[in-house]
Amino acid sequence: MKSESILATLRFLAKRLAIVELVILVLTGLVCWWIGWRTLAEYSTGLLWAGFGAMVFGAVSVFGGISLDSDFQHQYSKTVMPISPSGRVQQNVDDIAQGMSFTFWSGMAGLITIGLGALLKAFIYCPPLFR
């Protein structure tokens, strides 16, 4: 088993987050163009909404995954699967961990998008430093 350095892991995480962020920025730009928001100020507002949307989407996904465990039909379908009870518990833990991981990634992407939108708004509306 190959052990990775912390730098390689951070590089992988940064690359993954950059790709997700790029997709969010492009999709936000396309949606803003489609609804007629063509100025930089309107795009920054779109970024704020997209960031909040990404965070809400992640939170809803984790709550939706947890609520599946309380559904009787879902639990019954898990009991008829040919795995041991300990394997079933491990599968439940893995499902919750995957939901939490997705929530973390969507939360990070949402925070970065909100930060970029706020940064754009700050540069648009700030007074000039030198006259």
Residues of the chain with pLDDT under 50: 1
Question: What's the pLDDT score for residue 125?
Answer: 80
Q: Is residue 39 part of a domain?
A: yes
Question: What's the pLDDT score for residue 95?
Answer: 77
CA dist 30 and 89 (Å) reads: 43
Let me know: does 109 contact 17? Beta carbons within 8 Å. Answer: yes
Q: Is residue 130 part of a domain?
A: no
Question: What's the pLDDT score for residue 74?
Answer: 65
Question: What's the pLDDT score for residue 71?
Answer: 66
Q: What is the pTM of this model?
A: 0.78
44-67 pLDDT, tens digit each: 999 999 999 999 998 888 777 666
Let me know: does 91 contact 28? Beta carbons within 8 Å. Answer: no
* Residue ranges making up the domain that contains 75: 6-125
How many distinct structural domains can be found in the chain?
Answer: 1
Question: What's the pLDDT score for residue 14?
Answer: 93
